[in-house]
Structure 1
Amino acid sequence: MNAIEAVVVEKAKRAKEAARRLAYLPTTVKDAGLLAMADALEAQMAEILAANARDLEAGRLKGLSGALMDRLMLNEKRVKEMAQGLRDVVKLPDPVGEVVAMWRRPNGLEVGQMRVPLGVIGMIYEARPNVTVDAAGLCLKAGNAVVLRGGSEAINSNSAITRIIATAAYRAGIPEGAIEFIDRTEREAAQVLMRLNGYIDVLIPRGGAGLIQTVVKTATVPVIETGVGNCHVYVDEFADLSKAEPIIINAKCQRPGVCNAMETLLVHEAVAPAFLPAIAQRLKERGVEIRGCPTTLKFVPWAKPATEDDWHAEFLDLILAVRVVRSLDEALDHIYRYGTKHSEAIVTENYTNARRFLKEVDAAAVYVNASTRFTDGGQFGFGAEIGISTQKLHARGPMGLKELTTVKYIIFGEGQVRE
């Protein structure tokens, strides 16, 4: 065992031991730990921002994209939001120990299902320091230990944040080892983590398509696939165009570097002549580059021709692919072919079309007359999220506390034996 492997294994061992105690830790103790973590983030904000400034400077020297720099950047508002997220999690019911079903068998046995923690959760993620806090807080409340491995771009931020919240949590009664951070930036550290069967119960990657696919293909530990978002907004022929414009602007421009931002706009041909030139101008004013189909180029002559790759792309930037479609069926076909099963939206006043869209689109979140930017644990009332699952096992969509548990069967008898 080399030095890197030894570090990762030792942290995983500590997390596994902590998980055993976390599984039955009282809610009051877990909540006290979360509140202490929130207070510590605010009390030591200067240290966190100083560490983040070092990461930002290194990112600038490396030439990181604007989207990555935005994900990496912390300020007073974002740190306070992280702290508030922990306090919001405290307000949520503790899922651990909840009996979700109970039934009686003909032989008199009472059979039920009880929620229990998953155990030790491994997180591999890129340049988003807020993930460190969200993951630690949600895992702790759901009775899980967590082993964090952030990207090298955020090493200073993540190291400072983990040290601060872990120290606060342990002082409040959380078992030591519940929050472990791998401070080795070598790729080998992540590869070791991916194969720690027996220590890590489930692995959750958060980041771009490259990271997620690497984890899916490399890991021997079970993986919950998250995050790649080629999200669409379809403006139907029966759309209220006064609703469509703010939805599109928000979905593309409010924060373009995140997975729930719109990447492709589909417009019905009946409304395209009046709507496309106007919305394109609004987008252009906000710095959006449009890459359009041939019909789009007729209405937006300054747009660039779209390539086949553009329909597949998760731009994570102020770039938008635009296509004019002849029908709802064509819009559904496009989403089926190019979508990543993340978030899709229709703008329409037609009840039948809205219901068809909700029924036929295969995605974790499907919207009628609302921005895709709402696909978020906090927005859905989960306090925070550990990721947005785009697969179907064992969770789908924003993953909150319940998604970080499984069930065990509990059986009450009166001396029954099987014949």
Structure 2
Amino acid sequence: MTGATMAHQDRYGLPLSTASDAAASAYREGVDLLLAGWTGTAEALERATEADPDFALAHIARARVHSFYQQGELARKRAGLARELVAKRGTERERSHVEALALGVEGRLPEALAVTLKHVETWPRDAVVLALPLGAFGLFAFSGMADHDRARQDLCASVAHHYGEDWWFLTLYGWAITENGDVARGRAMTERGFGLKRENAHGAHAVLHAMFEDGSIDEADRLIDEWIGGYDRSGILHGHIRWHQALGALEYGNAARALAIYADVLQPSMTQAPPLNVISDGASLLWRLSAYGHAVPKELWTEADAAAQKLFPKSSIPFADVHMALFAAATQDRDALAARLAVIEQRLADGKLPAGPVVPAICRAMTAFADEDFAACVRELTPVLTDVVRIGGSHAQRELIEDTFVVALMRSGELARARAMLDARLHRRPSLRDARWQATLQ
């Protein structure tokens, strides 16, 4: 490395190839905000690149933020610049760091995961890279693996001794444990991390997932009410956290409140969320409302579908495709669904769909459900229910598929199977309400 000192470090003690105090300070701030899902991330990283235009790590971090908002051209341009800069002025760690993030920005997910896991073995305290496989939209979740929840927990366990009581690590490790089934332990760890830093949207979000899993609906509602006022509406998780609140309302059968939350922060004309959250939160909430027997104004579907088609006009990751299928099914857009299904099935035939047959099966099942062919919906989903995890996302998000299956069982007369599934869920979450099923059971 030439042209810079190694005096500066990130918050985790890793050297930074910049001689600028201002660039290093702004980068540290930007990374903390990035890890917290907090507002001001992009601005801090821009200050870092302005203070030192040759600072590769600041450019690649900015590229990652661009990619969250599907600003593909800007993200790829920044990633390319970061690669050029780090080759001229960067350590081995920084070159590997840039490569892992750049591959993710470029959508080369299997390569990004391989580079990331190798990187973490050598530099376990490189939190920005460690973050890539974690979370509901991380590289593990979108890998098509059936055991990605276990993989997240195992990865965190392997590096935990490097982090100690770090607020960011505890919240992500705790969430991984929660998603992998040990909810009590996961919640305790996540709450410990969140307690260390309350200005942490990812921490609040992880706690809400634990509360969802153990059925603490009222407690989750209070947490959101108490906490959300300090989090700007432009925050990357603001709308999604309110989506959790809407799910809680539906547990009580309170459709009016769920629709009010939708109108406030999830509707396309109101949301400031990243595109993937726009389509998944909007589609899943409207679908749940309808499936639970509540009226959903047609214009809400029409407006949301129009916005979704602009954001995801072509087949992409399975998690997005499944939610786009909800729009197509709800709006009876046969042509859109047929075109997307054709691409998905071709990718499956070519061996390029790691998630496997579950993806087209879900798409067909949702169409059958919307057509009120509930027996066909049951037939499509029965053989793939255990593989739904392969589409990625969180358990709370994927429960939409299970809910649809339960309602289809009810409406096709298979009440015993439906009750067995609900009993299993109540055993998992004993404080869960059943108001949302009443309209269906009647």
Which is helix-richer, 1 or 2? 2
Could you say which structure has the larger radius of gyration?
Answer: 1
Which is strand-richer, 1 or 2? 1
> What TM-score comes out, normalization by structure 2 length?
0.31
> What TM-score comes out, normalization by structure 1 length?
0.32
